Structure 1
Amino acid sequence: MPHRLHLEQFGPVHALPILHYRMEFAHLVRQAIDRVKPDCIAIELPDTIEEQFIRGVRRLPEISVVWYDLKGNGGTQTAYLLIEPADPLVEGARLALERQIPLQLIDLDVEQYPEHHDLLPDSYAVHRIGLAPYYLQYCCATATTTPSTIDRRREAGMAWRLQQLAKNHERILLLCGMSHLERLRTEFSLPQTQPLTRSRRSGVNIANLHPDSCREILGEFPFISSIYELRRSKLPPEPAAEEGSLRKRYKMLELINGGKTEVSEESILRRALERTALHVGAEGEMPDRQRIQLRLFQETAKHYKQETGEPVHIWQKRTFFRFARNYAALSGRLLPDLFQLLASARGCVDDNFAFAFCRLATFYPWQREDSELPNIRLSPEDVWGGSRLIRFRPRQQRLGKGLSPLQFLKRKREKHPGDWLKGFDNASICSFPPEDLAIEDYGRFLKKKGAKQLSEEQWRVEPLTSSLLDGIDMRETLRNIHEGKIYVKEQQRVKGGVGSVVVIFDHDRDGTRFPYMMTWLGEHDQESDMAFYATPPADNVAGPGICRCEYGGFMLSYPPMRMHDVWRDPDYAFARGKHELLLLAALDYTIDPHVVYVAPRPPRSIFRQIAARMGKKIVFMPLGSLSPVKLKAIRVLHILYGHDKREIAKEYIW
């Protein structure tokens, strides 16, 4: 890896060219101070805000905002200065205070500074090639740019103040923007006069940034700022592997003992931060932004699985990073920003994953609403002059008009740990009717699809002799056009329909992931009898007397009220797994000659022989041939302990 630090020296001044609000340059400030060991640090900020700026730096890692009004020909505008950990100027001031190095703010206080946006390379390039070639390319690209009058005035004023500091200090570390350094170096070599500028400004205020605003307006999005803050000091120890979930979970013994204390969401997200901080570079090295984004994706995938029960597949991960890379390249960046990451997450996985990604990426653990300073809420338009909007539509319940747009993202929670355990006093269990409707509809869909597949298998094609049969087969005719013959097709009749349906998500060969086995009967003539194996209900309590499970596999058989407990039937004792037992039960209980079997792999050949002896046939469909979105929607079921829970279940099941 190339040496990344580069300093421009003129006289006693060692200048570090920086980009504002970029983590890589904040780390270079630390390296520069360790190398130069300065007896004075000068930063590109006006001294009229020094008192409040220093106060905000001392509050870190809590983020503050310094703000004051600017007056000009266009009216009054408000200037905001964010004091956040990953800003190089803030890092320089913070280290000066920690190491008791004199700090000087040398910029001029000017009114109505014009807005302009420099076309700068992605700061991640510094991590790969170092600062020297990065700065050289920037100088070459901006050599013909004409600076504004205000910039020339500021540079002359900063040069004069550096000349004054040079009289009393031997090693001065200057932190200033790349766009000013070369001209500032030229001005320093020339005699300068004291600038005519404002020496005092009234109405400079400081406030605590509200936690909600902290998620949106930081220069580096909060996850990166948090990683940088954690790595400023000694790295934390590796968090324990066993930890709470973002979804409330109980074990069976905890149900008996009255529950456990809930692990807060904040502590879970903080552990994710600590794990990431340990794996984005060795201690003392510059954090690798690319590794941070990879770890952010991995931690999000973990929480997404806890929330939805579905893993993020390797093809989704590959598509996410390829899409994000291409999206970043379109905007001239090496790595995507937060908006591009969220758009990639929503497009390549789903809205639930994008929301989980946003929740973790915008988590900043040190910001609190209760502070000794007044709180201030800011929008991106206030600070940066604009924003980009992205919408999430998770699979959640929608609320009516006039309600908070964020309310539907909040699942109903316990008021006190263990409150939900009071609803398990009813010995009977039942299902959640909307889920019954969904799975019955999907069962009918699979029957139609199976019947269509059988029909397609019964097509017979032959050359035209005396009859067109069911019509000309154009595909076969064109394929054999060299023979000069016309081929016709005949659809032979399929005897009987499709009866039972078996869907296998996971074979669970070791029997540990889906140990809960149940057979329950349809409540009316529109429902099928059902046998399934799933995750234990006690492992995931979703509400009072409401448990959330995930199917490993299930079997539907119609008409209802006929099925015995298939899991204790001795006739199926020779089955090698739960999936084979369900297939045997489907063949046994179907009243139609065909059974649809959906699974990752086809059944063993012996089952086709068993079906043939019973006068039946197995119609196999690969699980991968069906819509993964629809399969994900039907894979979750909720078990209610008592029919009375159906009235309140909709408040806890989203």
Structure 2
Amino acid sequence: MILYKNLRIFPTFHDSLDFSSEIRNYFYQHPPDLIAVEFPENLKFLILQGIDRLPKISVVLYYDEYLDTQLYIPITPADSLVEALRLGEEYAIPVEFIDIFIKNYQPAIVPLPDPYVLHYIPYSKFYDLLCENLQLKEKAQIFLRKYQHSQNHQENPDHSNHPIHPSNHKEPSSFEIPGEEDEKWLHSAEELDSLRNFYMASRLAELMKLNPNSTILVVVGMNHWENIRVLLEHQITDSEITAFEPEIEAQLMNVRNSDIPKLFSNIPNILFQFEIHRQQQKSEWDDLNNFSKIRQNHLIRKLLNKFDILEGIQDILSRSLDRYANEYKERISFQKLKILTQYARNLAIIDNQIIPDLFNTVLAAKSIINDDFAWIVYEECIDYPFSEDFSDLPSLHFSESGIVLNGKRFSIRRNIPVRLKSIKLPLQPKLKENYQGEWKKEWMKGRYQLVSHIPEDIFEEQYFQHIRNRSLSLLRDKYVKIHKFSSTLMDGIDFRKTIRNWPFKHEIYVREEVPIQGSVDSVVVIFDYDNETYKKYPYRMMWYAEHDHESDLGFYSTYPGVNLVGPGISRIELGGVVSFYPPRGVPNIWSRRFQKQYPFVHSTDELLLLSALLFAQKKFITYVAPSKPRQFFYQMAEKLNLSIIFLPLNRFNPVSLRALRHLHILAGKNKRNLAYKYINKRKY
């Protein structure tokens, strides 16, 4: 905050939550008598109407014929100007709009530091560093010299290039504002900024005269204050200025939840969290009068904590992790989450920022985890529960090329441009139903002709073969004999035992790999044990091979047709699966007739292992599960001249296991041609 006579000035960045927090904290500590903001007077009614709608987000929209563009002023909790006005409305403090309405305004977007540093350095230090970096004070002196130079040429004002030309008044500091039809509208952004600086300085000088004993809180853009200051110091604005309130066709419009990321730089859910923080802070502050003075001082320090955007992003990721674990039954490790946050931070640093934006957050989730998790993160990020798609106000209809208004298409831009990164996400689009119940209707048509998704078939067979190879590798290690070296190296030196014994015995040991008789037949994979009281996986199915390169499958899973991801396309979650390869026409192991023959089987996972033993054509059966099967099945395998190879489930890559566990079932072969549009490409 900057002091100037009875002014308390806050130069800020537009669309910044950190500056909104700064203004709130200052306001609560030093309530002003009057608030002045950098908004044009002729839009005051609509802007205040939009503030009354908060936390619903809206924009003031008007047309600039020189730019052939619809310009909008955002009314959002993130904007510091809006926050100042909102505080004034809540605490019945008068507000003044001190900016001038301009057109054809196309300022360059200046790279600015991330205001998140305000959590670590005081505002005054931040402002001094910014002034030094952007040379704001030096530019203000140049601006003053240009004005003084133009005053020396008042005798011939028509040849002046300055947008503010002397009026018929004799006072050297009296100015005339360009009219609605004036060609001065076509001046450069620099000249229009000069016009704005003069006008705001004049309005502030007027307010200071009318309110000499009042504290005035002034909230303006960062680039304006130093120029306004030199004008006030040199008393250039102590004159009459021409009233300028042109009529303009503007309207207040509602912003739908899906369009918030297209218009604002902040993550929508961060805005929601800030709004909750703001409401709690206001409620607690208003209750301070109920406490003693000592207690009040303690609570004030506690209440003035700033909203932390980084904590907000961490909260989004935490909710995304829980939702992902609930939907996909897979926990993302702390190590993966740490890598994700580091990657998001690095992406932000590339953009010269501290805090990752929506794009970088989602990109990090996709790159480190997968598309499914990235979609969950994106949906959590854009969730703004206060928004309304259907409102008492007309809503913007946004498209990639702009907006549609009254049947016409317009480009759209913020009135004060800010840098908005493209929201085109590197994710496969999530298609939606054309009408409610469309996907269910397609499923019901083909629910008796269920088929698999071919890319998943290929992956399944490859992964089952990987399990077989891994089983044989484990067997080879068990079938190795170690001998003391005598005359031949046999299958090579066993370095482990040789090194262990060399210091004491000076002996060399060699390996003899005994050939394995037989190969791996069926593979049983148990992801989760089913509870017989409450069946988590109630669906049972035999899936027979369509050709010789596929295996026959038996599995228990969640019900198909419940979780639909496309028209007639359902995602299921396996509890356990058995693969018979080569295919052999196994009878339906889920039939009551089959199960009645084996009353000693206690659960579905044991039934899968039993079927693998009964219909085995080769010596070894691989059993992958969280724990070993009952000893009974080892004895049964021995009687059948078979051998069970147990592999703990946690020895396998969780990403690959997830891909194996979550399959898609299609309601008819005709769905295979379009399934790729609805099923995300897997990371295996």
* Residues 1:415 and 2:427 are matched in the alignment: no
Alpha-carbon displacement from aligned partner over 1:207-228 (angstroms, at most 9, x marks no partner): 6476454322303232223334
Structure 1 residues 315-326: aligned runs within 5 Å: 315-326=335-346
Which residue in the other structure is 2:244 paired with?
199
Q: Structure 1 residues 48 and 68, CA, compared in 2 at 3 Å: closer, same or farther? A: farther
Which residue in the other structure is 1:447 paired with?
468
- State the TM-score, normalized to the length of structure 2: 0.70
1:166 corresponds to which of 203, 208, 211: 208
Cα distance in structure 2, aligned partners of 1:380 and 1:618: 67
1:502 corresponds to which of 505, 524, 549: 524
Number of aligned residue pairs = 583
Cα distance in structure 2, aligned partners of 1:418 and 1:113: 48
Q: Is the 8 A contact 2:464 2:579 kept in 1?
A: yes
User: What is the root-mean-square deviation in Å for CA atoms of aligned residues?
Assistant: 4.7
Which residue in the other structure is 1:3 paired with?
none
2:514 corresponds to which of 482, 492, 510: 492
Q: Structure 1 residues 363 and 562, CA, compared in 2 at 3 Å: closer, same or farther? A: closer
Which residue in the other structure is 2:609 paired with?
583
Structure 1 residues 109-258: aligned runs within 5 Å: 114-120=107-113, 122-127=114-119, 131=123, 134-135=126-127, 138=130, 146-147=138-139, 149=143, 150=190, 155=197, 157-169=199-211, 170-181=214-225, 184-185=228-229, 187-193=231-237, 194=239, 199-200=244-245, 205-206=250-251, 208=253, 211=256, 213-229=259-275, 233=279
Which residue in the other structure is 1:350 paired with?
370
Cα distance in structure 2, aligned partners of 1:425 and 1:70: 56
* Residues 1:43 and 2:68 are matched in the alignment: no
Cα distance in structure 1, aligned partners of 2:351 and 2:458: 46
Cα distance in structure 2, aligned partners of 1:132 and 1:564: 76
Q: Is the 8 A contact 1:600 1:622 kept in 2?
A: yes
Q: Is the 8 A contact 1:447 1:501 kept in 2?
A: yes
Q: Which amino acid aligns with 2:577?
A: F
Q: Is the 8 A contact 2:443 2:569 kept in 1?
A: no
Q: Is the 8 A contact 1:38 1:173 kept in 2?
A: yes
Q: Structure 1 residues 381 and 511, CA, compared in 2 at 3 Å: closer, same or farther? A: farther
Q: Structure 1 residues 599 and 137, CA, compared in 2 at 3 Å: closer, same or farther? A: farther
Alpha-carbon displacement from aligned partner over 1:83-137 (angstroms, at most 9, x marks no partner): 33310112223444555543322235676564252542x3334346664554465
Q: Structure 1 residues 187 and 587, CA, compared in 2 at 3 Å: closer, same or farther? A: same
Q: Is the 8 A contact 1:63 1:367 kept in 2?
A: no
Which residue in the other structure is 1:21 paired with?
15
Q: Which amino acid aligns with 1:560?
A: G
Q: Structure 1 residues 301 and 648, CA, compared in 2 at 3 Å: closer, same or farther? A: same
Cα distance in structure 2, aligned partners of 1:474 and 1:344: 44
What's the CA shift for 1:316? Answer: 3.1
Cα distance in structure 2, aligned partners of 1:221 and 1:65: 20
What's the CA shift for 1:144? Answer: 8.0
Gaps of 5+ in 1: 1-6, 236-281, 395-405
Q: Structure 1 residues 195 and 348, CA, compared in 2 at 3 Å: closer, same or farther? A: farther
Q: Is the 8 A contact 1:41 1:103 kept in 2?
A: yes
Q: Is the 8 A contact 1:26 1:86 kept in 2?
A: yes
Which residue in the other structure is 1:561 paired with?
586
Q: Structure 1 residues 14 and 95, CA, compared in 2 at 3 Å: closer, same or farther? A: same
Cα distance in structure 1, aligned partners of 2:413 and 2:367: 26
1:599 corresponds to which of 625, 640, 656: 625
Cα distance in structure 2, aligned partners of 1:333 and 1:302: 28
Deviating more after overlay: 34-43 vs 187-196:
187-196
* Residues 1:84 and 2:84 are matched in the alignment: no
Which residue in the other structure is 2:380 paired with?
360
Cα distance in structure 1, aligned partners of 2:395 and 2:442: 41
Alpha-carbon displacement from aligned partner over 1:314-365 (angstroms, at most 9, x marks no partner): 4433332233234435555443222221121111211222223223323445
Q: Which amino acid aligns with 2:421?
A: S
Q: Structure 1 residues 442 and 32, CA, compared in 2 at 3 Å: closer, same or farther? A: same
Q: Is the 8 A contact 2:554 2:577 kept in 1?
A: yes
What's the CA shift for 1:62? Answer: 3.6
* Residues 1:531 and 2:524 are matched in the alignment: no
Q: Greater CA radius of gyration, 1 or 2? A: 2
Cα distance in structure 1, aligned partners of 2:124 and 2:588: 76
Q: Percent identity?
A: 27
Q: Which amino acid aligns with 1:82?
A: P
1:392 corresponds to which of 406, 420, 426: 426
Which residue in the other structure is 1:301 paired with?
321
Alpha-carbon displacement from aligned partner over 1:15-56 (angstroms, at most 9, x marks no partner): 234332112322443444444443421112344654654565
Cα distance in structure 1, aligned partners of 2:510 and 2:673: 56
Cα distance in structure 2, aligned partners of 1:566 and 1:416: 33
Structure 1 residues 369-384: aligned runs within 5 Å: 371-372=393-394, 377=402, 383-384=417-418
Which residue in the other structure is 2:536 paired with?
514
What's the CA shift for 1:294? Answer: 2.1
Q: Is the 8 A contact 1:548 1:636 kept in 2?
A: yes
Q: Structure 1 residues 334 and 468, CA, compared in 2 at 3 Å: closer, same or farther? A: same
SS where residue 569 of structure 1 aligns? helix
Alpha-carbon displacement from aligned partner over 1:248-274 (angstroms, at most 9, x marks no partner): xxxxxxxxxxxxxxxxxxxxxxxxxxx
* Residues 1:106 and 2:98 are matched in the alignment: yes
Cα distance in structure 2, aligned partners of 1:649 and 1:78: 45
Gaps of 5+ in 2: 144-189, 282-301, 404-410, 680-684
Q: Which amino acid aligns with 2:217?
A: L
SS where residue 167 of structure 1 aligns? helix
Q: Is the 8 A contact 2:440 2:564 kept in 1?
A: no
Q: Is the 8 A contact 1:458 1:491 kept in 2?
A: yes
Q: Which amino acid aligns with 1:160?
A: S
